[in-house]
Amino acid sequence: MKVGFIGLGIMGKPMAKNVLKAGYELVVTTHNPKTIEEMTALGAEGAANGAEVAAKADVIITMLPNSPQVREVCLGEGGIMETGTEKTVVIDMSSIDPTESKAIAAELAKKGIELLDCPVSGGEPKAIDGSLSVMCGGKKEVWEKYYDLLMSMAGSVVYVGPTGSGNVAKLANQMIVAANIGIVAEALTFAKKAGSDPELVYQAIRGGLAGSTVLDAKAPMMLAGNYKPGFRIDLHIKDLNNALNASHAINMPVPMTAHMMEVMQELKNHEEGGNDHSDIVKYYERMTGTSIVK
C-alpha cells in the first residue's frame, strides 16, 4: 500500500514520520520545500501537488488548517480529484466543519473517490509519539480497511458513524474542553479572590467529581503562568467557529460554546492568540484584577 500525505505542519509532519516508521511507502506534498526535503531524506517521495500525490498513492491522508484548504486540495486545481479514481481513498484528518466534510465527500463520490473524516485529538506531543485519539466518520468497511494505517499514528481509533461524524465528535470534544478550561480558570480565580490558596484548592478537588484530564493538564499551567502552546487559542477559535456554524445549520442554540468563543476573542484582542488555551485564566485576571500565578 502506498500512502499519500498532504499537509506537513506542526501535526502533519510527525504523523507522516510515524507512517514511515510503520513501514508504509509514502509520497508527500506541502507548501514548505524544506519540509519535503526533510521527509525525502527519511525515505518519502516528494510531489508537486495533490494531483501528483493521487496519481501515485492508493490512500491519501490530508492534515490541513481548515475547511477551505481541504476543499482546495481535494477539489481545486491540481487537486486530488484531477487524478484520483474509484480506487482512491481520502482520509481527511483535519478538524473542519462536518457540513463541509459531507459536501466534499459528495463531490469526490462523483468520481468514485471515498472520503473518511478522521480528525484527531492530542496535540503536537501525541502526534510525535504516535498516541493521538482519532475519531472517524464514513463507510465502516472503508474505516476497517485502513484501521492499521490510522493506528500507526494513534493510541486509539474509534469509528463514530457516517460521513461527518468524525468531525461532529471532534467539535463536541472542543466544546467540552473550552467550557472545562473556562470553569477551571474561573474557579481558581474565585479561590484566590476569596482568600484561599488556589493551588491547595486544586489539590483538594482533583480527586473528586470535579477532577478531570483538563483540570490536571491546565490548572498547573495556569498556576505557573505557563502559556506555551500545546493547543493555541487561535486554533480553538477556529474549532469553535466550526461548532457554531454546524450547530446553527441544524437550528441548535449552543450558548456555552458561544460564550467561550467570546472569551477567546477577548484573548485574541490582547495578542494572545498564539498562547495555549490555558491562557483563558488571563481573561479572569483582567476582569478581576487578581492573578493566581504563584
Alpha-carbon Rg of the chain, whole angstroms? Answer: 20
For residue 257, what is its C-alpha cell? 460554546
* Predicted pLDDT of residue 122: 87
Cβ–Cβ under 8 Å, residues 152 and 19: yes
Dump pLDDT digits (tens) for 188-201: 999 999 999 999 99
CATH number of 2-162: 3.40.50.720
pLDDT of residue 216: 97
State the average pLDDT for the chain.
Answer: 97
One fold for both 2-162 and 169-288? no
pLDDT at 260 over 90: yes
Q: The pTM is what?
A: 0.92
Domain boundaries, the chain: 2-162, 169-288
Which amino acid does the sequence have at 208?
Answer: G
pLDDT in tens, 111-155: 999 999 999 998 888 999 999 999 999 999 999 999 999 999 999
Q: Would you state the pLDDT for residue 293?
A: 97
Q: For residue 124, what pLDDT is reported?
A: 87
pLDDT for the residue numbered 230: 82
In this model, does residue 89 exceed pLDDT 90?
Answer: yes
Catalytic residues: 170
**β-pair type (59-62, 89-92):** parallel
Q: Which CATH class is domain 169-288?
A: mainly alpha
Q: What is the DSSP string of the chain?
A: -EEEEE--STTHHHHHHHHHHTT-EEEEE-S-HHHHHHHHHTT-EE-SSHHHHHHH-SEEEE--SSHHHHHHHHHSTTSHHHH--TT-EEEE-S---HHHHHHHHHHHHTTT-EEEE--EESHHHHHHHT-EEEEEES-HHHHHHTHHHHHTTEEEEEEEESTTHHHHHHHHHHHHHHHHHHHHHHHHHHHHHTTS-HHHHHHHHTTSTT--HHHHHHHHHHHHT----SSBHHHHHHHHHHHHHHHHHTT---HHHHHHHHHHHHHHHTT-TTSBGGGHHHHHHHHHS-----
